[in-house]
Chain A
Amino acid sequence: MRTSVPSSGTTAARGALLVAFLLAAATACGAAGSPPARGPQPGELPHYAVAEGFSLPSSSTWRSAHRRGKLTVGVKEDQPGMGEKNPATGEYTGFDVEIAKMMAASLGFDPDEQITYKAIASANRETALQNGQIDYYVGTYTINEGRKKLVGFAGPYYIAGQRLLVRQDEKHLKGPQDMAGRKICSAVGSTPLQRIESDYPRAVAVAYDSYAICVDNLLNDQVDAVTTDDTILLGYAAKDPAHLKVVGRAFSEEPYGIGVPRQDRALARALDKALTARERNGDWKRAYEATLGLSGRPAPKPPRIDPSLTR
């Protein structure tokens, strides 16, 4: 019996070969299933007039941003149509990003030169605002009671609703009423997932870290639907219309707000005023048409600003 194994060059080499093979196999199957990068490309984005000589001394956030000469804005980086980062150029595009830009313009900052974008995942939004890592946050941020205790909100600037994204050849899953026994994917811990688990207990909930993995699973028949706010789903459907579609009625109401540090009411009020002005002069509609509108859905009426948020 051998009580030790002599180090053998050939076995190590074989191990290395196997690793190489496995890696090759892994990358190969990744490429086959990845959603193709086609669909609407952002081209003609509107330009927003910068407010000259704007000043908001009552807002500590504005004062320190003014001193820095730059605004730091929190956005999402993985939501086509709303906030998506182009991995090649590092540019952010989407409706949320447009809102962030027009707000910057209204606060007296040049949207092309004086914004630093920071991608902040959903779970870290409140912390980022509380610690002052970002000046404001625009990224599918639903206004709700729990969050109002932690951060301040301006808006809402858009009303989204939870719906279902299915494969183009799906025949039976037409809305929330057909979810029994089907695999429905969403993000871990998210409100849409919690709603599926509590209100539709007969659906089989599947949870991953990102919607991109859910969509990949959907394209590979691992799940039957992806569910979250229709804004995000429409972005994915617009990217791959040959294979994906959004179905059914909306079964929730998600008013999107701009997150601001909780104590800075002055900033929230200034943003509310800016939103109203941008909705009136048509910038809001132009921003929608250049981003979310590419999915084919016409621009809805912008929602009424909720003054109780900044009181």
Chain B
Amino acid sequence: MDVLTENFSLYGEGFWGTVKLTVYSSLLALGVGVVMAGFRVAPVRALRVVGTTWVTVLRNTPLTLLFFAMLLGLPRFGVALPFELFAVLALGCYTSSFICEAVRSGINTVPVGQGEAARSLGMTFGQTLGTVVLPQAFRSVIAPIGSTLIALAKNSAIAGSFSVVELLSTYKTLSENGYSVVWSFVWIALGYLILTLAISALFHVLERRWGVPR
């Protein structure tokens, strides 16, 4: 207990860092993921290639390697960004490939007739996707997107090794200052639980509201 009370600001900073990383990366992942899902079902071949490549490369690269490539590789080509931004980019792009696949599987649940009907009304590809297919697709993939974002929250711990303030790396400071590692970890675990349970609750509400009852 002493570990928490005596280092409350350290834990607070770490927790806040993890929350920020999770929120920003989630927004990036959702945005890019949906766009890439659109690319993967687009009638234009070039777009499909871009979507497939994006997913293949990012989903199959270990996240730590992606961090190394971004934080140590990009500056060599003159791209120097703040560490937090690098971390959000790495986490967001990595997770976007999983979001993309979840959304695409949702698109596949929408009957082909829906798209055909929209097109026969004269809708463009963008209109069909945006107003007919995606709204239906989303409703069937709320649960897997929730799981992906929970995984994102926990993956954000990797950023702590790359000069980003986040929850897990607080244990290094505490251990250095002579606190018991076990208790440091108990409070860290609690912090992650708060965050992941909040995401679970949010997606539970979304599912109750918009989920497709079958």
Contact = CB atoms under 8 A, between A and B. Distances in A.
Contacts of B80: 222
Interface in B157-214: 160-163, 169-181
A1 B72 contact: no
Interface stretch (B18-26, B51-59, B142-150): B51-59
A122 interface: yes
A19 to B, nearest CB: 6
Contact of A190 (B61, B83, B128, B176): B176
B49 interface: yes
Contact of B56 (A15, A188, A191, A194): A15
Interface string B53-97: 100110011000100110011011000100100000000000000
B118 interface: yes
Contacts of B172: 122-123, 187-190
Contacts of B179: 146
A146 B177 contact: yes
Contacts of B61: 19
A147 B52 contact: no
Interface string A175-201: 000000000000111110010000000
B169 A29 contact: no
A5 B48 contact: yes
Given A1-B125, A122-B176, A206-B163, A11 B76 contact: no
Given A191-B176, A213-B72, A15 B112 contact: no
Interface residues of A, number: 45
Given A3-B41, A22-B57, A146 B73 contact: no
B141 to A, nearest CB: 14
Contacts, number: 119
B178 A11 contact: no
A4 B108 contact: yes
User: Which interface residue of B60, B112, B178 has the most chain A CB atoms within 10 A?
Assistant: B178
User: Which interface residue of A14, A146, A189 has the most chain B CB atoms within 10 A?
Assistant: A189
A187 B72 CA distance: 16
Contacts of A4: 41, 108
Contact of A146 (B43, B56, B178): B178
Given A4-B108, A11-B49, A209 B178 contact: no
A209 B161 contact: yes
Given A126-B181, A146-B178, A207-B163, A189 B169 contact: yes
Given A1-B43, A2-B41, 8 more contacts: A1-B119, A14-B53, A15-B57, A18-B57, A19-B60, A33-B76, A149-B178, A189-B176
Interface of A: 1-5, 8, 11-12, 14-16, 18-19, 22, 25-26, 29, 32-33, 122-124, 126-127, 144-147, 149-150, 187-191, 194, 206-209, 213, 216-217, 220, 222
Interface of B: 40-43, 48-49, 52-53, 56-57, 60-61, 65, 68-69, 72-73, 75-76, 80, 83, 104, 107-108, 110, 112, 115-116, 118-119, 125, 128-129, 133, 160-163, 169-181
18 contacts: A1-B43, A2-B41, A3-B41, A4-B41, A8-B52, A11-B49, A15-B56, A15-B57, A32-B76, A145-B178, A150-B178, A188-B169, A189-B169, A207-B163, A208-B161, A208-B162, A208-B163, A213-B72
